[in-house]
Amino acid sequence: MSELRQDPTTYDWVIIARERARRPHEFKKERPDRPEPVWSGTCPFCPGNERMTPEVLARYPEEGDWVLKIVPNKYPALTPDGSTAREERKLFRKTHGYGRHEVLIETPVHNEYIPFMSAPHVESLIRAYRDRYNELKKDPLIKEIIIFKNHGAGAGTSLQHPHSQIVASPIVPPYIRRKYEVTIQYFDNTGRCLHLDLLADELDEKTRVVSESVHFVSLHPFASHYPFETWIMPRVLKSSFGNISEEEIKDLAAVLKDVLARIYHGLGNPDYNLIIDTTPVEDEEQSYYLWHIQIIPRLIQPAGFELGSGIYINVALPEETAAFMRELKVEELA
């Protein structure tokens, strides 16, 4: 018999479909370990092809060979032109696509995925996320900053070279506003942060925890919408990713390398999305929300039922997938 589980952070329900459940190892794809070459002449992000991207906005380190750099998206979804005033005509409301859309090129090496990067390199990556976040939020028209990464064609990218994207939005998306309001309501009722209570409950049950470090916990949430959906949650209340500390960055780099190595090896380099879930810019100093990372391997295709109902059918048990990831042997990880 299947089970309906409620995500306490959104009130969404998920069907955990035991009848059609697949065992964790059945999700592993058989692909070559490093399908891409180290350099590609047609890749706009590879060294030597710099003319194919717009001017550099920031680079690390500032001198010498770059390890990572940030450029404007050549085909931006949002641009810093026009106003954010709404135009209304009948029931149709619109506004200019004001905002910023940047690309963070994570490495000069075409096939250097995060698990293979050095720890200091991944620290630079997280630091670059934070620095761009804090730079972009200076614009008073910006209400939400979405940092994300698409790995593989099935995750929506056409460029395989490791990169992330940063979108600065003039609107708090209703989806994010709703999640934030759930935490406000919880705080009003209990005086506590919903996410921290949830983390405490997950740590108490332990069955869905993948790894623990000094500052972070990685886990497969109780009401995972997707097989192997992974959250990395900080242990201490901080609403905004923009306020991550240097010490946390060092710890997170190790956790992220480890979590993505487990996904890479355990699932055979699957397509995935990584998202930094953080509070609206104006609520950064409130104590309702806990920023965290969501990693969604794209192992199944949402179908008409998901699109029509908003209920996701998850064909894996989070308890089983978390155990599978937790128990992967360290020597199997790069």
Candidate residues 8, 44, 227, 270; the one interacting with a copy of itself per rule CB under 8 A: 8
Q: How far lies 327's CA from each of 207, 211, 224, in Å? A: 12, 10, 19
Kindly state whether residue 13 participates in binding a copy of itself, applying the rule CB under 8 A: yes
Q: How far apart are CA 148 and CA 166, in angstroms?
A: 7
**For 120, how many CA atoms within 13 A lie in the half-sphere containing its CB?**
3
Query: Any contact of residue 141 with a copy of itself (CB under 8 A)?
Result: no
CA gap 66, 68 in Å, rounded = 6
Q: Is 197 in the site for a copy of itself (CB under 8 A)?
A: yes
**Distance (Å, rounded) from C-alpha 331 to C-alpha 232?**
22
Which residue in the set 273, 283, 288, 299 belongs to the binding site for a copy of itself (CB under 8 A)? 273
Segment 230 to 269, residues that bind a copy of itself, using CB under 8 A: none
**Which residue, among 151, 156, 164, 81, has the nearest Cα to 122 in the 3D structure?**
164
Residue 310 C-beta: closest distance to a copy of itself, Å: 3
Choose, from 101, 161, 163, 225, the residue flagged as catalytic.
Answer: 163
Asked if 305 is part of the footprint of a copy of itself (rule: CB under 8 A), the reply reads: yes
Query: Which residue lies nearer to a copy of itself by CB, 120 or 310?
Result: 310
Considering only residues 209 through 228, tell me which ones interact with a copy of itself, judged by CB under 8 A. 222-223
Q: 292-295: long-range contacts (C-beta < 8 A, 24 or more apart)?
A: 292/195, 292/231, 292/232, 292/233, 292/234, 293/231, 293/232, 293/233, 293/256, 294/229, 294/230, 294/231, 295/229, 295/230, 295/231, 295/232, 295/259, 295/260, 295/263
Q: Is 163 an active-site residue?
A: yes
Q: Which is nearer to a copy of itself, 91 or 330 (CB)?
A: 91
Interacting span for a copy of itself (CB under 8 A) from 120-128, 163-171, 232-240, 256-264: 163-171
Rounded to whole angstroms, the Cα distance separating 116 from 107 reads: 11
Instruction: Say whether residue 156 binds a copy of itself (CB under 8 A).
Output: yes
Contact region with a copy of itself (CB under 8 A), list: 56-64, 233-241, 295-303, 323-331: 295-303
Q: Contact between 309 and a copy of itself (CB under 8 A)?
A: yes
Q: Report the residue from 117, 146, 267, 281 that binds a copy of itself according to the rule CB under 8 A.
A: 146
Interface residues for a copy of itself in 77-136 (CB under 8 A)? 77-79, 81-82, 90-97
Where in the sequence numbering do the catalytic residues fall? 163
